[in-house]
Chains A and B, each alone.
Chain A
């Protein structure tokens, strides 16, 4: 091979076994069937996470995490820093697309029962990554220190008081005091740029390691077709076929984000003012809205505990779905998944279309 004549390749190969890695990648394949489009959503999520890390680091060069200067520093980024508007807008749009992809990835895995034995840990690490992603969203939303962010954080953190015994302590831990103040901002900044990235990187490594070790799951229906000889087992070489498809998606996603960021730069809003009253029909970021809307219909304690229990059940789902674990199609769980998705969409739509309800 031509590369072998390269002294750098040889130098590295002697030390880190490049040939071994090359051989491994050359032989790595991905299942190829009519549902394999969903495999690309995980890669898209990872790509958007990388975009977030890069743009986040760039924003860190100018952002100041104090109540006195956070808003002004974001304004400065948007108006004075060369391409600051682009970097911040990409960070904001990619954040939302990232969370959207996490949800799509999770529900596609759910519907295809990819969590079934032996991939329980992949599912659990993925579900925990979803919570971390929402934590990123919640903490990042406050950082521009504008009025909407301030009020949303006020409402969001107040749910901590529902937790028995330690609720008030959690509230004070999150807020850095009894109220949402500059202390909360600095704290959320710490969560957003240190705690959450650290945890996410570690958990992501675990998640990818499991994906790598176990390969991608083939849906039961496809497995049944293969075992009954109705279809061939088909696989796609990871390099270059799958990677090119991934890259096509990433390129188009980049185009979409640039388009949005340029035509609709992310707003700075009005600076947070604790004396200003909350505007009517205030709501959190879209991915929290289905929960926020639910809490309007049920007692808060019931709602908060309901979601906490549902979240835990969701994480441990592979251990409940024994039928799928035996390789048998479980239509009940498919129905549950569809109902959950429908519920989230309807609740979100109600909140946006009838804000007073």
Chain B
């Protein structure tokens, strides 16, 4: 019974692939012939190679047309026909690279697919440990991509799909026992990256919201060339997305001294792995502000921090007041659409100034906040005028209703008066 279901499975899953004719599959899917059928099953169920008609022999050699009917597996796995046993772990990168580093070959299947993976891998921490120190604990191609169920990284089932990648890295990097013995900057390598990352602004976006634009591990560390970001590459990695912040920071007086710190550039204020949403409290001299960590009270830097924070807070207050007044005016019946539209411009100023704050130049910050405050104040004035108008309307309504009631009463009195003098009965 099991054999029948196996045959049906083969038939259904391989109907339009080369695998249909392959004696490799015919034997390796049958538990009567091989102890482990999962390899062939993975290949058949979903493998990019199978989908592209790349059969077992393309990697393993041998002759898939022979062996099954003759009931002799040696005919298929004939060394004379190029059959080679599977490579050991250290051989896997070179094994995959036979095709994946061949640009002309890869172009046939996907012109956009890069062919530099092995080259990058050799520059990675993983590659260096493997090739230079023969450390086979490091990740090779199959550890991340799988061996026989290889899926494109765009497939949400793939281990290297954007949302799955942090978990794939964590499979090794979160295991303290497995990572024991590896050193970074003279200390044992940390194993809490995944825990921190999953609580970070990026991790929440990627892992919980499936946001493809937020970085997974490879967004900063690269994938095939996986490395620890160096002093230069940290801000380069952040700047890939936060380009304006990077440019403003590079032009700031902080750029040079921050570059010399142990946690340089962006990392110094925002940290790494456990990066939180940057709030305005980071700036200034109050509780939670980072500037006071270096700038002493009465120093120019201290004053600049206070000025910038005050400017941003003033803009936020102006926006908040204008919003509240507009809302109140709307609730009382005024049209607030234009005010809300104009307020959008003030909010743009707020977004902009939070980026410009990376120049650490109070003049530039105040220039933008002043423009935003002016817009918000204009909206506020309009909302207050509308509220005043509503007050006038209410007074007008009260007066009008008094007139109406008086008039109605007068008419009612008049009706009573004329009715008194009227004989309603018709006498013929």
Residues of A bordering B, CB below 8 Å: 32, 75, 78-79, 232-237, 240-241, 244-245, 247-248, 251-252, 254-255, 258-259, 262-265, 268
Chain B residues 386 to 427 lying within 8 A of chain A, measured CB to CB, are 393-394, 396-397, 400-401, 404-405, 407-408, 411-412, 414-415, 418-419, 422, 424-426
In the complex, the answer to whether B408 meets A252 with C-beta atoms within 8 Å is yes
B288 in contact (CB, < 8 A): no
Q: Is there a chain A Cβ closer than 8 Å to B175's Cβ?
A: no
Query: Do the beta carbons of A244 and B404 come within 8 Å of each other?
Result: no
Bound-state CA distance A245–B394 (Å) is 29
Q: Across the interface, do A236 and B424 meet the contact criterion of CB distance under 8 Å?
A: yes
Is A244's CB under 8 angstroms from B407's CB? no
Q: Which of B335, B418, B422 contacts A75 (CB 8 A)?
A: B335
Partner of A262, one of B337, B397, B419: B397
A254–B400 Cα distance when bound, in Å, is 10
Partner of B404, one of A32, A236, A251: A251
A244 touches B426 (CB 8 A): no
Nearest A residue (CB) for B415: A244
**Is B333 an interface position by the 8 A CB rule?**
yes
Q: Is the CB of B335 within 8 A of A79?
A: yes
In the complex, residue of chain B having the shortest beta-carbon distance to the beta carbon of A234: B424
Asked whether A240 lies within 8 Å of B418 as measured between CB atoms, the reply is yes
Given A75-B337, A78-B335, A263-B333, A251-B411 contact (CB < 8 Å): yes
> Which residues of chain B are near A259, meaning CB under 8 Å?
397, 401
Known contacts A251-B407, A259-B397; decide if A268 and B424 are in contact (CB<8 Å). no
Query: Does the CB pair A235–B397 fall under 8 Å?
Result: no
Q: Specify which of A32, A244, A255 is in contact with B424 (CB 8 Å cutoff).
A: A32
Partner of A258, one of B397, B408, B414, B419: B397
Across-interface contacts of B394 in A (CB, < 8 A): 262
The chain A residue sitting closest to B337, CB to CB, is: A75
Given contacts A240-B418, A262-B397, contact A247 B411 (CB under 8 A): yes
Given A233-B426, A268-B335: A248 touches B404 (CB 8 Å cut-off): no
Within 8 A of A (CB), among B96-125: none
A251 touches B425 (CB 8 A): no
Given contact pairs A258-B401, A262-B397, a sample of 17 additional A-B residue pairs in the complex whose CB atoms are under 8 Å apart: A32-B424, A79-B334, A79-B335, A232-B425, A232-B426, A233-B426, A234-B424, A235-B426, A236-B422, A244-B411, A244-B418, A247-B411, A248-B415, A251-B411, A255-B408, A258-B400, A258-B404
Residue of A nearest to B389 (CB): A85
Cross-chain contact B404 with A255 (CB below 8 angstroms):
yes
| Chain A positions within 8 Å of B422 at CB level | 236-237, 241
Q: Which 8 A-B pairs rank lowest in CB-CB distance, beginning with the nearest? A: A255-B404, A234-B424, A262-B397, A233-B426, A232-B425, A248-B411, A79-B335, A265-B333
Q: Which residues of A contact B425 (CB under 8 A)?
A: 232-234
B156 within 8 A of A: no
**A78 CB contacts on chain B under 8 angstroms:** 335
Provide the B365-397 mask, 1 if CB < 8 A to any CB of A, else 0. Answer: 000000000000000000000000000011011
Main secondary structure of the interface of B (DSSP, over half): helix
A244 CB contacts on chain B under 8 angstroms: 411, 414-415, 418
Residue of B401, B405, B411, B422 with most chain A CB atoms under a 10 A cut-off? B411
Q: With A236-B424, A258-B401 in contact, do A251 and B408 touch (Cβ < 8 Å)?
A: yes
Q: What are 19 A-B interface contacts by the 8 Å CB criterion?
A: A79-B335, A232-B426, A233-B425, A234-B424, A234-B425, A236-B424, A240-B414, A241-B418, A241-B419, A244-B411, A244-B415, A247-B411, A248-B411, A252-B408, A255-B408, A258-B404, A262-B397, A264-B333, A268-B335
By the criterion CB–CB under 8 Å, are A79 and B338 in contact?
Answer: yes
A245 to B417, alpha carbons, bound, how many Å?
12
Residues of A contacting B415 in the complex (Cβ-Cβ under 8 angstroms):
241, 244-245, 248
A145 to B332, alpha carbons, bound, how many Å? Answer: 24
Interface centre among B333, B400, B419 (most CB of A within 10 A): B333
Contacts of A232 in B (CB 8 A): 425-426
Contacts of A248 in B (CB 8 A): 408, 411-412, 415
**Distance from A357 Cβ to chain B, minimum over Cβ atoms (Å):** 32
Q: Which residues of B contact A255 (CB under 8 A)?
A: 400-401, 404-405, 408
Closest B residue to A78 by beta carbon equals B335
B334: chain A residues at CB < 8 Å are 79
Tell me which residues across on chain A come within 8 A of B411, comparing CB atoms: 244, 247-248, 251
CB pair B400–A234 under 8 Å, yes or no, is no
Against A, the Cβ 8 Å flags (1 = close, 0 = not) of B215-239 are 0000000000000000000000000
Chain B CB within 10 Å, residue with most, of A232, A240, A255, A264: A255
Within the complex, the shortest CB–CB distance from A217 to chain B, in Å, comes to 16
By the criterion CB–CB under 8 Å, are B338 and A263 in contact?
A: no
Bound CA span A32–B334, Å: 46
Task: Report the bound CA distance from A78 to B386 in whole Å.
Answer: 12
Give the chain B neighbours of A254 by CB distance below 8 A.
Answer: 404
A263, B397: Cβ atoms closer than 8 Å: yes
- Per the bound structure, the CA–CA distance linking A215 and B426 in Å amounts to 15
A264 to B394, CA, bound (A): 11
- Cβ contacts under 8 Å, A268 to chain B: 335, 337
Report Cα–Cα, A337/B425, bound state, in Å: 32
Considering only CB atoms, which chain A residue lies closest to B428 in the complex? A233
Proximity bits, B156-182, A CB within 8 Å = 1, else 0: 000000000000000000000000000
Min distance, Cβ B337 to any Cβ of chain A, angstroms? 7
Nearest-Cβ distance from residue B102 to partner chain A, whole angstroms: 47
Chain B residues numbered 334-369 whose CB sits less than 8 Å from any CB in chain A:
334-335, 337-338
- Which chain B residue has the least Cβ–Cβ distance from A244? B415
Q: What CA separation (Å) do A301 and B411 show in the bound complex? A: 52
Contacting residues, chain B, for A247 (C-beta < 8 A): 411
Expressed in whole angstroms, the minimum distance between the Cβ of A29 and any Cβ of chain B is: 8
Q: How far is the CA of A252 from the CA of B412 in the complex (A)?
A: 11
CA distance in complex: A244, B411 (Å): 6
A79 to B425, CA, bound (A): 55
Bound-state Cα–Cα, A245 to B415, Å: 7
A127 to chain B, nearest CB (A): 31
B404 → chain A closest CB, angstroms: 4
CB-nearest residue of chain B relative to A266? B333
Q: Which residues of A contact B400 (CB under 8 A)?
A: 255, 258
Shortest CB–CB separation between residue B245 and chain A, in angstroms?
34
Q: In whole angstroms, how far apart are the Cα atoms of A259 and B404 in the complex? A: 11
Contacts of A251 in B (CB 8 A): 404, 407-408, 411
Closest CB in chain B relative to A230 CB, distance in Å: 14
Q: How far is the CB of B204 from chain A (nearest CB, A)?
A: 30
| Most chain B CB atoms below 10 A, which of A232, A234, A244 | A244
Point out the residues of chain B lying under 8 angstroms from A234, CB to CB. 424-426
CB-contacts of B284-327 with A (<8 A): none
**A265: chain B residues within 8 A (beta carbon):** 333
In Å, the complex CA distance between A236 and B407 comes to 22
In the bound complex, CA of A79 to CA of B393 (Å): 13
Chain A residues with CB under 8 A of B333: 262-265
